[in-house]
Amino acid sequence: MSEQYKAFSEHLHKIGVVGSIGGLLGWDNEVYKPEKAMGIRSEQNAFISGLIHEEFTSADFVKLVQALLEDKSLSKEQSINVTKVNEDLIKQTKFNKEFIQKQSVIISEAFGKWHAAKTQNNFSLFEESLEKVVALCKESAEILGYEEHPYDALLDMYEPGMTTKKLKVIFANVKEQLVPYYNSLLAKKQVEASFLHNKFEKQKQWDISIEILKQMGYDFGAGRQDYAPHPFSIGMHPTDVRITTRVDEHNLSELIWSAIHEGGHALYEQGLDAEYFGQPQGVAASLGIHESQSRLWENNVGRSLSYWKANYHLMQNAFPETFGKVELMDFYKAINKVEPGFIRTNADEISYHLHVLIRFEIEVALMEDKIKVKDLPEFWNAKYKEYLAVDVPSNTLGVLQDVHWSHGSLGYFPTYSIGSFYAAQLFSHAEKQIPQLKEKIEKGELSELLSWLRTNIHVKGKLYTSEEICEQVTGEKLNFDYFMNYVKAKYDGIYK
C-alpha cells in the first residue's frame, strides 16, 4: 500500500469513527433519549455533521484524492474506492458547513415533533417541521443539480443511478401486473387468520425473536435488539450493529417479522469488511441492495413454509393455547394472508408495494409543488382509498405512521420496492446455486445462505452499483418478472 493511499484510508477511517458516534446518537435518539434532551441532541448532531463535512471536504484531503486519481500503482479495488470518494466529494463540496449544520438541526427537531404528533394523533404538531424538511430537500436538489427532475437528485443519494423516469417504469409494472393479481386474490375465499390476533405475552414474543435472530446468524456479541416507535437498524461498525423492533400483544407481526426484517439489514452491516471501514468498499452498495437483504430474510425465507417447518415449534411451545390447535399449513397461510390495510410495515408482500407507490407519488408531488404539506393528510387518505380501498381512521395510522420524512429522507421509500424485486431475483439464484437450500431451511440450517450472501454481496461493499451486483450474481439487470413469478407460485398455492 502506498503512503498516499495509507493516508487516504486512515483519514476515511477517522471520519468513519466520527460518523459512528453520530450513529450512536441517532440510535439513542429513538431508543433511550429523555424527552427534555431534544435541544442539546440537536446541537450534538449538528456538531458531528459539521465536523464530518469539514474533515471530508478539507483542502488537504481533496488534494490527496486528486493525486490518487492519477496513481497508476493502485489495485483495482483501491482505484474504485478513490473514484467513489471523489464522486462523493464533488457532491459534498457543493454544500457548505452552515447548510450541513442547518440540515442537522431541522432534522433532529423534526423527529421530536413527528413523535409527539404521532403519539397525540395531531398532524399540526409536525406540520411546520415537515414544511422545513421539504424546503430543505428542495434546496438540496437544487444544490446537487439534476438533468430532468428535482426528485432525481434525492433518489441518487439512496439509489445511485435511479431516476424518476426509471421508477415510473418500475411502478408501471406494479400497476399492470401486480394490482390485477392482487385484486384477483381479494376476490377469492380468504384464509383464516384471526388466531394471529389473540393475546401473546410481550416477553415470550421477544424471546422467540431472539432465537430467530440467532438462527439467522445475527452476532449478539456485535449487536443488540431494543424497542423503538419505528423498527430500524443501524450499523456503527461491523462490530457494533443495533436493531430495534416494536411489540403489539395482539399482533405477532409487529415484533416477529420486523425482527427478521431488521435482522436482515443487520446481517449485511455485520458482513461488511471491517478492514475498509470508512471507505466505499466497507459500506453498503445502496439502500435498494440493503433492502433486498431484509426483504429476502423477511419474506423469501421468513414467510416460507420451509422456514416454519423448522420454527413453528417455537410458537407452539410459547403459546400452546393458540398454536397447539392450529396446523402448520394453516399458520403458513395466515401469515401470508392478502388483505388491504393501513400500515406499510404490516402489509402483505403484494399490497406492500401499493403503500410504497403512494409515498412515491406524494413525494414527487411535493417536489413539484403540486401539493402543500398542510394538505398531506387529505391527499394521503384519498390515495389509500384509491389504491387500497380503505378509509384511514386516523393520522397516526395514516400520514404519521412512518418516521422517514422526519429524517429528511425523501427519495428513500422507492428503495423498499426495488429491494423486494432484487430480493426475489437474488433468492431465485441462491436456490439454484446452493444445493438443497429448501431442505436446509426446513432444518433451520441457514448458515450456507448467509455465507452465499456474504460472498456475493456483503463483502463487495460499494465497489459496484446495484445493477452491477445484480448482473454479477444473476447474469441480468433487475427484472420484475422474478418477483411476479415468485408471488404467483406462492400465492396460487395458498389461495388454490
What is the predicted pLDDT for the residue at 456? 98
204-219: average pLDDT: 98
**Confidence bin at 35 (pLDDT 50/70/90):** confident
What is the predicted pLDDT for the residue at 104? 86
**Confidence bin at 371 (pLDDT 50/70/90):** very high
Quote the mean pLDDT of the chain: 95
What is the predicted pLDDT for the residue at 12? 98
**Tens-place pLDDT, residues 124-133:** 999 999 999 9
Nearest alpha-carbon partner for 64 in 127, 20, 15: 15
Indicate if the pLDDT at residue 16 is higher than 80.
Answer: yes
Indicate if the pLDDT at residue 304 is higher than 90.
Answer: yes
Indicate if the pLDDT at residue 424 is higher than 80.
Answer: yes
**Confidence bin at 98 (pLDDT 50/70/90):** confident
What is the predicted pLDDT for the residue at 54? 93
- Which one of the listed residues 30, 159, 254, 262 is annotated catalytic? 262
Phi/psi for 233 (5° steps) reads: -130, 155
**How far apart are alpha carbons 123 and 150 in whole angstroms?**
26
Collapsed DSSP state (helix, strand, coil) of residue 333: helix
Asked if 285 and 469 count as a contact pair (C-beta separation under 8 A), the reply is yes
Asked if 352 and 332 count as a contact pair (C-beta separation under 8 A), the reply is no
Domain 164-495 has CATH 1.10.1370.30: yes
The Cα angle at residue 461 between residues 263 and 465, in degrees rounded to 5: 110
**Catalytic site includes residue 431:** no
Indicate if the pLDDT at residue 306 is higher than 80.
Answer: yes
**Tens-place pLDDT, residues 335-348:** 999 998 999 988 89
Query: Range with the lowest mean pLDDT among 11-20, 179-188, 299-308?
Result: 179-188
Q: What residues contact residue 296 under an 8 Å CB cut-off, 6+ apart? A: 264, 423, 426, 427, 453
**Tens-place pLDDT, residues 36-55:** 998 898 889 889 988 999 99
**How far apart are alpha carbons 485 and 461 in whole angstroms?**
29
In the chain, which segments carry CATH 1.10.1370.30?
A: 164-495
The Cα angle at residue 317 between residues 316 and 321, in degrees rounded to 5: 60
